[in-house]
Amino acid sequence: MAGSAHKVLTESLTPAAPSLTGRIIGGDTMSDLSSFTLEDKYTVTSGRIYLTGIQALVRLPMLQRLRDEAAGLNTAGFISGYRGSPLGGLDQTLWKAKAHLERQHIVFQPGINEDLAATAVWGSQQVGLTPGAKYDGVFGMWYGKGPGVDRCGDVFRHANAAGSSRYGGVLVVAGDDHAAKSSTLPHQTEHIFKAVMMPVLYPANVQEYLELGLHGWAMSRYSGCWVAFKALADTVETSASVNVDPFAVDIRLPSDYALPEGGLNIRWPDPPLQQEARLTHHKLYAALAYARANRLNRVVLDSPAPRLGILTAGKSYLDVMQALDELGIDAELAAQIGLRVFKVAMVWPLESDGVRRFAEGLEEILVVEEKRQMLEYQLKEELYNWREDVRPRIVGKFDEKGEWAQIPKANGIVDHGEWLLPAAGELSVARIAQVIAQRIERFFTSPVIEARLKLIEAKQKSLETPLVLVERKPTFCSGCPHNTSTRLPEGSRALAGIGCHYMATWMPDRTTTTFTHMGGEGVPWVGQAPFTAEKHIFANLGDGTYFHSGVLAIRQAVAAKVPITYKILYNDAVAMTGGQPIDGTLTVPQLTRQLEAEGIARIVIVTDEPEKYAGVTGLATPGGQPIPIRHRDELDAVQRELRDYPAPSILIYDQTCATEKRRRRKRGKMIDPPKRAFINELVCEGCGDCSRESSCMSVVPVETDFGRKRAIDQSSCNKDFSCLRGFCPSFVTVEGGTLKKGRAVAGAQADFPEPPLPELAATARPFNLLVTGVGGTGVVTLGALIGIAAHLDGKGISVLDMTGLAQKFGAVFSHIRIADRPEDIHATRIATGEADAVLGGDLIVTAGSEALSKMREGTTRVVANVAEAPTSDFLLNPNWQPPTAKLDQRLEDTVGEGNVWFLDAQKLATALMGDALYTNMFLLGFAWQKGLVPLSLAALSRAIELNGTAVEKNLAAFLWGRRAATDLAAVQRIAEPPEVVHLHPSQSLDDLVASRVAFLTAYQNAAYAERYRRLVEQVRAAEASLGGTALSEAVARYYFKVLAIKDEYEVARLYTDGTFTERLQEVFEGVPGKDYQVHAYLAPPLWAKPDPVTGKIKKRQYGPWIWPALKVLARLRFLRGTALDIFARSADRRLELQQLADYEADVALILANLGTDRRETALALARLPEQIRGYGHIRAATARPVEAERARLRAALTAPAQPPASRPVPVRVVAA
């Protein structure tokens, strides 16, 4: 047996390639684009395929199975793990590839958490230990993000010590997030794997996912170790065009290492001390021998007279190569400098033979690695015993002074000095380039390097103190259950956990403070409760986390008998990572029974659909009582009840994830209610209560002639309807109506000639295209389309999507690099100042510091969508305004005048296509026509077809973008609807006054309008002597505002005078009342009463019968202010009439005291009504702070004028 084993070890394990079924794609540009399919990534057996790092992990086990089959082995595969960014979509991708996996005998069984998944993979290696095995071996793959690796320490330690099977092997894929883009802390897993003595492979790109993955299983089989595989966000979230061939990797087993008797693989029985001895004395050394035999670590750039060596791995290797490019260091210059680069694929343990050969002749080695030192410590240890005359200096995180230096300062404090390559955060290409240049300049000077370094440093300096004009923070999706579920009653606070609801920690209205790791939700309270006067807290716990491990946290709270309410957010999907189902069964009835069994005696279910619980059986009956089912509108009252309960309690908030609802509706798996919310902009006061109540980003600002109002973005609305709770009569629902088609779709287009083909940029060197936008608007899809098109054109392509939590309405970036050859692309990120083009889907993101850092005058050209999409700040601040002019200027200042095109692509796309979802495709067409996307029209068109979603409309949007780039004015004439006077700001004071005189005449009568006109004219005459019309315009706007009181008569008129019907017909097909019904949501003052708990007045829905009644009410407006006016004596009306009287008094005061020195004060006083908005208690609340400001301004207006400060008389000194 030993002899046969020795024979196997001395020969190549790469079998001769058999005849395989499947397509082979070779060559460069695909001559027949129609033959390419999205399934090629799993079916093509040789040539180039286009896939993401995630998809490479799915293809990888298929390649392993084909290799085993060709070698005469009957193997199978087993994959298990737990989702988490950057591996959040791996399980979904595996499910989609189920048919391909099954054909290769590969089983995917996700774990309910990471350590149980790892235990299942451990079991796959035990298949041959007992009778009944159907396969020669099972190769296993575990996956999880960094915190999951931490959680699995015990399993990994035991399983790695036990070992892998001879024809199995285990690859442990760890998703690392160095920058905490979607994590509560940055994580770096190499040190954990070192602690459990597991070799670590670190691929640098998608191609290496396939190659090193095959090496990983081979190493695992040979050495008996489980092998870790570091999947960094920068690589696993990258898409690329790669070579695929199961037999291209030549795997060789070591000929210089003798395995011990019995080998190194798993066995039973196996005493623990024998496992330890085998692992420490043999298995790791076998792994090192494998790395040595297959040259996993190797010199990639050398010099005949080397002086400076750079040792690096993974993403840092790509960054180093990109830094050399940016410094102008090609192979010829590198040889002159004496530069040698060593690329490490197995970062632990570091194979010493290759390292020593690399180090020979070097004066210095620079170690470039992100986060804490792994390679640097090993390198120093391995070279420590070299003679001083041949041992090179080693620098990395610090320069020559070393890490533990104690540098005394003048104040007597000891400091360790500055970092050379910091361990915190991420390393940028610019920083690496600066350090390389600094080390080179000690012995070599080059004008090329000096010039490039100055450029890099100048760009970096400009970014040292970024000017943050506005920030796009992630927030909950439109209609997200967490918009409501994470709210708290006044005086309470909550603890956060892992999931989308974690975002509540930075929302100022949620009083959610601190968080824990996954599964520890609420448990910090056990350690706080005995030592604080605080009596109770809430803890947010997602249903996915509950199933993962969170039930143990509840068990701990019950054991400690602390007063805490767990809000279990039952959303029917794991929304954070893509809407996956929970890995098992968890219904609400089942959940209640589990909780009752855990000792919970108080459970309440809160839902947006209480009616769905009619007939539901199986709910627990804690204490013998049925569980209350309450509507979400009662959430505040329910929480107030539960916070007075002296023991652990449960609030199950049951509402389906909004994004998942949208997906299911598109796929026909959930009813899409034929109902849409709509706002009557003339009735709207712009108070923002609808945004505060719903926290919904689909409620957007709209600027009108009568000020800022609200509208519903029908493209992004998920039909949650919580916005209807806003205390405002401007909301209606349109039931049965369909949105109008765009003008282009409807056929209203000119006879456009075919746009000319643009001149495309060369890609001999990588062309860098940055795509920016808002999470959830299709930026990632756009990057994927461009990537596939580049693949079809035979280009080298790299697409890195930087999303994380930003997918939730945050800033999203796609770094796209296109080159003639894949090997010309090093780093996946676009470096400082190196973007050739920017496709800006959102102005705020495009003009933000991160995007601007990639731009440079003379290099970058930009297409910027200037549509004003609000940030999450708008939810709580109705006055929020994007600094559009400043953002425009920042862009122009960065790239130079004439290098940026500004257009409202969203407005044009919506008008033309009927939906804002086509904005990005419109932008892509515009950018392509301007020559900013160096790909063929045929490839882009085919990529759009392959996407398979609304193909004709997307192709049309792309074409309209091209047309706009050719003749924007012509496209605008078609796209822009006929002007509606009341929605467009007036251009002159005369127009402004005339429109309001007409409005007030309709409001009441001509005499009322004349009252308005007369006062405005008085102000205008008084201001004439001062010059300008700013004060007159302010009075014209705000005197009108206080005169046109939106009482019951006026609201009725604004709904029934025909204007609102016209607005509905502009948006919906057909006629209201005939083709669809319109329902109103009102709180009539005569019978709407405040809630006794919250004090809020609840609106009621009124059906179509309300419109004739409102028409009658509108006709009764002649009763306004008379003894027969039944509304005149309400508190609201008294307040509004007082505000009218106050304003007239203020204008009189202004006229009596107007002068140049008091003009600004007068203007501020005249504009005060702008801050008073809303109806009822909302209006009263906004009026209170205005009163104090009004008193201050009135006092300032009448204060005695201050004499100008006397200036000292200059004295001329004359010499004696």
pLDDT for residue 1209: 45
137-160: average pLDDT: 97
- Count how many domains the chain has: 5
Same domain, 860 and 939: yes
CB atoms within 10 A of CB 343: 23
Residue 1144 within a domain: no
Tell me: the pLDDT tens digits for 957-978?
A: 999 999 999 999 999 988 875 5
Same domain, 280 and 336: no
Give the pLDDT band of residue 747 (cuts 50, 70, 90).
low
Tell me: the pLDDT tens digits for 913-950?
A: 989 999 999 999 999 999 999 999 999 999 999 988 88
DSSP string, 804-864: GGGGTTSEEEEEEEEESSGGG---SSPPTT--SEEEES-HHHHTSHHHHTT--TTT-EEEE
Residue pair 1169/1141 in contact (Cβ under 8 Å)? The answer is no
Of 245, 263, 293, the residue at which a domain comes to its end is: 293
pLDDT at residue 368 greater than cutoff 90: yes
d(CA 944, CA 865): 21
1002-1008: average pLDDT: 96
Give the pLDDT band of residue 981 (cuts 50, 70, 90).
very low
pLDDT at residue 11 greater than cutoff 90: no
Tell me: the pLDDT tens digits for 107-123?
A: 999 999 999 999 999 99
CATH of the domain at 589: 3.40.50.970
Q: Which two tokens stand for residue 160?
A: 């790695």
Same domain, 336 and 284: no
Same domain, 707 and 847: no
pLDDT for residue 518: 93
Of 247, 264, 293, the residue at which a domain comes to its end is: 293
pLDDT at residue 452 greater than cutoff 50: yes
861-869: average pLDDT: 94
Residue 204 within a domain: yes
Residue 1126 within a domain: no
pLDDT at residue 2 greater than cutoff 60: no
pLDDT for residue 575: 63
Classify 1122 as helix, strand or coil.
coil
pLDDT for residue 14: 63
Same domain, 591 and 692: no
**1007 to 91, 997, 1010: CA distances (angstroms):** 71, 10, 5
Give the pLDDT band of residue 3 (cuts 50, 70, 90).
very low
- Any alpha helices (H) in 869-918, and if so which ranges? 884-895, 905-913
Residue 493 within a domain: yes
Report the relative pairing of strands 238-244 and 346-348 from DSSP bridges: unpaired
Where does residue 857 fall: left (phi above 0), alpha (psi -120 to 50 degrees), or beta otherwise? beta
Range of the structural domain that residue 923 is part of: 767-978
Q: State the chain's mean pLDDT as an integer.
A: 90
Which of 430-444, 725-739, 978-992 has the least mean pLDDT?
978-992
d(CA 69, CA 1131): 84
Tell me: the pLDDT tens digits for 797-821?
A: 999 987 656 567 788 999 999 999 9
Of 428, 460, 492, the residue at which a domain comes to its end is: 460
Top-confidence range, 16-25, 500-509, 521-530: 521-530
Tell me: the pLDDT tens digits for 48-75?
A: 999 999 999 999 999 999 999 999 999 9
pLDDT at residue 23 greater than cutoff 70: no
Which of 209-218, 263-272, 306-315, 398-407 has the least mean pLDDT?
398-407
DSSP state of 1092: T
pLDDT for residue 1216: 32
Any idea what the Cα angle at residue 717 is, between residues 804 and 660, rounded to 5°? Answer: 55
Q: Which two tokens stand for residue 1080?
A: 């109103």
Residue 983 within a domain: no
Residue pair 282/261 in contact (Cβ under 8 Å)? The answer is no
Q: Which two tokens stand for residue 978?
A: 């006929």
854-872: average pLDDT: 92
Beta bridge partners of 108: 79
pLDDT at residue 874 greater than cutoff 70: yes
Same domain, 157 and 81: yes
Q: Which two tokens stand for residue 895?
A: 């790239």
Same domain, 410 and 504: no
Q: Which two tokens stand for residue 67?
A: 């290799």
Closest by CA position to 163, among listed 219, 129, 122, 120: 122
Same domain, 289 and 303: no
CATH of the domain at 352: 3.40.50.920
pLDDT at residue 4 greater than cutoff 60: no
Beta bridge partners of 366: 310, 395
Q: Which two tokens stand for residue 233?
A: 């966000």
Tell me: the pLDDT tens digits for 675-690?
A: 999 999 999 999 999 9
Residue 491 within a domain: yes
pLDDT for residue 152: 97
Residue 337 within a domain: yes
Same domain, 582 and 528: yes
Give the pLDDT band of residue 1139 (cuts 50, 70, 90).
very high
d(CA 599, CA 648): 9
767-793: average pLDDT: 92
CATH of the domain at 929: 3.40.920.10
Same domain, 191 and 333: no
Same domain, 725 and 774: no
pLDDT for residue 1213: 38
DSSP state of 583: S
CB atoms within 10 A of CB 366: 27
pTM summary value:
0.91
Tell me: the pLDDT tens digits for 595-640?
A: 999 999 999 999 999 999 999 999 999 989 999 999 999 999 999 9
Q: 1006-1024 and 1131-1153 helices cross at what angle (nearest 10)? A: 30
Residue 506 within a domain: yes
Same domain, 689 and 660: no
